[in-house]
Structures are given as C-alpha cells and as structure tokens.
Structure 1
Amino acid sequence: MIQSLVKAANVLDVLKNENRELTIAEISEILNIPPSTAHRILSTLIEIGYVSKDERTHLYGLGPSLIPLGIKASSKLDPQDVGKSVLENLSEITMEDSFFVIKSGDKGLMLSKSEGKHTLKIVENFGIEIDLHKGAIRKTILAFQPDDYINYYLKKDLSNYLDSPVDKEELRKDLMEIRSKKISVSDSEYIEGAIGIGAPVFNYKDVLVGAIGVVIPKERVTEETKREYIEAVKNCGIEFSKNLGHSEV
C-alpha cells in the first residue's frame, strides 16, 4: 500500500464528507496529520485539479477534475448490485422482508428482495407487476414522477384498493405529501392486513431509480414500532441513494 496515496485519498474523503470548504488547520486536525503534510498533499491535488483553493479565504474544496470521474463511476453502478447490502441491512434492522421496486410502465416491479428473520411473511413475488397507486413502495415511485405523468396516471381508470375505490383527489394529496416527506405509509391497499413503508432511491443525476421499503403484518405494528420502521426505511433509502452517487442538497 502506497501511504502517500492513502493520505491523499483521506484528504479527498474529508472534503467530501464535510461538504464545505476547509482550512489546512481543520484538515490536519481531522486527519491527525501535521499541517505541513496536509499542505504538501493539497498542493499536489491542486496541480491535478482534484482540489481547488480560494486564494482570498485560503479555504480548500473539491476540484473540477473530480466531476467527470464521479460521473463515469456512477454511470457504471447497477442499482440491484449496489442495493443488495442496503436491503440486507434494512431486513436486519426491522427483521422483516425488504424490497427494491422499480417502475415498469404504469406498474411497479419488485427487482430485489432480502428476507428478514420473522417467520410470518408477507408474500411479494418476483415478476408480478402491481399498479403504482397500490402500496407504499410503489406509491413512492408514482409520487416522484413528473407532474405530467401523474396527471396522466390520475386520468386513468384506476383499479380499486382491497376494500375501497380510489379517491383520486386524496391520492393526489398523498403523492404530494410523499414527495415532501420522502416517506410513504400504506395500510392494506393490496395485501390484507399489511402495513407498507417506502422511501425513494435516487441516482447521481437526482433521478428516481426506484423505491425501497418493507411490508409488515399489521399485527406486528404498534405506533412505536411504526416510527422505528419509518426511520429505518428512510435512512436506508438515503444510504442506497448515496451509494449511487446521489448527494442530498
């Protein structure tokens, strides 16, 4: 291992993770290296365009030469591969089966699944396409579509939920709330006695690639556990997106 390259990579990681410009003193303190070492590394990174320096404030930030590298790397990422560990983590936290669903026409298609430890399962089968307005995970996908697509979708004849017809105005309100909160919760919309929780997944272009979530038997859900599930799903959606190169604004 070439230690100088490791140190340079650590400097870039600090500038990325702090998400702001830093002084040499701050970088050396965070990495526990002498300021002279930090200055030497930064000078080299500036020469190749990986770091930029504001000559007025003497602050350092990530440089423009990293942009094409990041775009190239992100474009090679397969969401199904990237999301495997995130789904496994979500199932470990919740002990429930977790799912990654993508848009397929006007329906949602389950692409990946990780099994939780609970023996009582909610059945979601690979290859079965279900309408986008049914269930929290698919409804999340619908919520983050362009407005013209949502308008088109709401003009369609929509199939009923399990125990009620679809109120299109209420559905529109739900979609706007999901878009605002970046979380969706459903109750027995297409599976009897099931609570669904979904969160969006974005790529490096800030484009929705799908939604991650869990579907839980209602008997295992209390108000306290629901809050825990929501937090877990939301955090895993953010982690999934970050792994695809997405940056939260």
Structure 2
Amino acid sequence: MSTRKDVVQSVDRALTLLEYLADEPEGLGVTELSNRMDLPKSTIHRFLKTLLERQYIRQNPKTGQYQLGLRLLYLSGSLMDQLDVRKVALPYLEALGKETNEVIHLCVRDGDEAVYVEKVEGDNTIRMYSKVGNRVLMHCTAVGKVLLSELPEDEIAAIMARTGMPAKTKQTITDLKTLLTELAKVRSQGFAIDNVEHEEGIRCIGAPIRNYEGEIVAAFSISGPTFRMTEERVKTELSSIIKHYALLISNALGYVAAEVT
C-alpha cells in the first residue's frame, strides 16, 4: 500500500494542475495556477511547457489561458475501450434512446459514488448537466440506488456515513432507514426511480446490468423532464422497457439466469 512519502512530487503536481484545468473549461492563467497550487510562477511555467509539448494542454490563442489538450482524449478513449460493459451496452443504449426519445445514462460504481461512462442524447431530448466522467452521489439517483441495492446493509450505511445524504431537491431521501426501505423495493421490482430527487424537473428510472455471475456491474437510466416522464409513464411503459433492455444487455455479458422476452 502506497503512502504520501512514496509519491513523486513533480508528477503529483502535474496531475493536480491538470485537475484544476479540468474544472475550468475557459482555462486558467499562470498567476491563477500559481495561487491555487501555492507554487512559484517559474515552477508553473516549467510544468506548462512540458504539458504543452506533450499536447496534454493547450494555450488559447485569444485569451492566453491554458486548457486541457486533445491528447487526453486518447487516454480517456483507451480507458473507455477497456470498459467492456460500455462497449457491449452502447448499441442497446442507442436503441433505447431512439425508442424512448429521452436521455440515456450508463454508470458504474467508483468507491462511494457513481460515475457516468456513457450518455446518449437524441435530437429532442432536454439538455442535462450530466456528462461522461461526472460523479454523482448514489442516494439520490436512480443509477445510484441500483448500484447500492444488492450491497450489504452495513456497507450501505458506511457509504452514507462517508458521503452524507445531502438534499439535492425537496424530494431527496436524506435518512438511512428510508433509503434501505427504498432499496428493498428496488430489489423486488428490478428497477429504481429518481422521483425528482437529484435535479429539479427531472425524473429518471434505472435498472441493473449483470455479468455472467449475476453481479451488478453497472446501471443505466432513462431520464427526462417530468412533463414527459410522468409517474404513470415511468411505472407502466418505461418500467417494462428498461427491464427488457436490462436483460438484453446482461445476457450479452453472459448472464443467463433469465430469458429475454
């Protein structure tokens, strides 16, 4: 197990610089980076020069600000290609998006959070803040509830203790007992609902993707505005559709415990 004393300081600083730039789409200048990282401008210049030469960052010719470079797409693309569930699921997610005309998300668990690894949008879908790479808490999202649903209760409790259960909307579940009751319902019905719990005006329904051993390895959801994603539509039409696609994708990953209908 590594400790801070094992960390190469220059590498750690370079990665921290990239993370700051990732949080600022418009870019940052040398002075701002120097202030944020508490390092001399001369040191920041050396990092920037190296990263520029390797194309991991670029300098906006109009503003002079530094931004992430296209080279990072190569790394992120390679990582995405290693996620077999994403490659297998994508054609089904695209079909689901066309069938429902809503936004489709694919998420995996990473520690105490869920991470978006794919997003499918149609021409008429509403714009949502989510994007690939975003991290979300699990107590207030349909995909998160799915990813939590088959974990031991003590593990769920530990996750909630670490992350807290902040109210994102008036509908957010903010106590562990209610969440555990909700997760039992998710297990029994085979899908989870985010009833305007994460983002105002948005309702979602999510379902699990299982591997050949029957373990939940990812979750996907259908998301849209409440005026289209009505409670009736979600519980009748979309619950049936998403369970069907959950089986299709899971079967494609080798899950054979149930027949696709």
Relative to the length of structure 2, the TM-score reads 0.62
Which whole-Å CA distance do the structure 1 matches of 2:144 and 2:121 have between them?
19
Once the two structures are superposed, residues 108-127 of structure 1 have per-residue CA deviations (whole angstroms, 9 ceiling, x without a partner) of: 00011222242423331121
Change (3 A) 1:176 1:104: same
Which whole-Å CA distance do the structure 2 matches of 1:77 and 1:106 have between them?
19
**Which residue of structure 2 lines up, in the alignment, with residue 180 of structure 1?**
188
Of residues 122, 132, 136, the one that matches 1:130 is 136
**Which residue of structure 1 lines up, in the alignment, with residue 13 of structure 2?**
none
Q: Any unmatched runs of 5+ in structure 1?
A: 1-75
Deviates more, 1:172-181 or 1:224-233: 224-233
**Which residue of structure 2 lines up, in the alignment, with residue 196 of structure 1?**
204
- Does residue 162 of structure 1 match 2:142? no
Amino acid at match of 2:240: E
Which whole-Å CA distance do the structure 1 matches of 2:216 and 2:126 have between them?
31
The CA RMSD measured in Å over matched residues stands at 1.9
CA contact (8 A) 1:187 1:193 kept: no
Which whole-Å CA distance do the structure 1 matches of 2:212 and 2:199 have between them?
33
CA contact (8 A) 1:96 1:117 kept: no
Structure 1 residue ranges, 4+ long, deviating more than 6 angstroms after superposition: none
Greater CA radius of gyration, 1 or 2?
Answer: 1
Amino acid at match of 2:153: D
Once the two structures are superposed, residues 82-126 of structure 1 have per-residue CA deviations (whole angstroms, 9 ceiling, x without a partner) of: 001110111011011111100011000001122224242333112
Once the two structures are superposed, residues 148-183 of structure 1 have per-residue CA deviations (whole angstroms, 9 ceiling, x without a partner) of: 322322444322232256022111100111012110
Of residues 95, 98, 105, the one that matches 1:92 is 98
Cα offset, 1:146, TM superposition? 3.3
**Which residue of structure 2 lines up, in the alignment, with residue 247 of structure 1?**
256
Of residues 110, 119, 139, the one that matches 1:113 is 119
Of residues 214, 236, 246, the one that matches 1:237 is 246
Higher relative contact order (CA 8 A, sep 6+): 1
Q: Secondary structure at the match of 2:174?
A: coil
Which whole-Å CA distance do the structure 2 matches of 1:110 and 1:91 have between them?
16
**Which residue of structure 2 lines up, in the alignment, with residue 46 of structure 1?**
none
Q: Any unmatched runs of 5+ in structure 2?
A: 1-81
Change (3 A) 1:177 1:95: same
- Does residue 205 of structure 1 match 2:213? yes
Identity of aligned residues (%): 28
- Does residue 153 of structure 1 match 2:159? yes
Cα offset, 1:193, TM superposition? 0.6
Deviates more, 1:192-201 or 1:216-225: 216-225
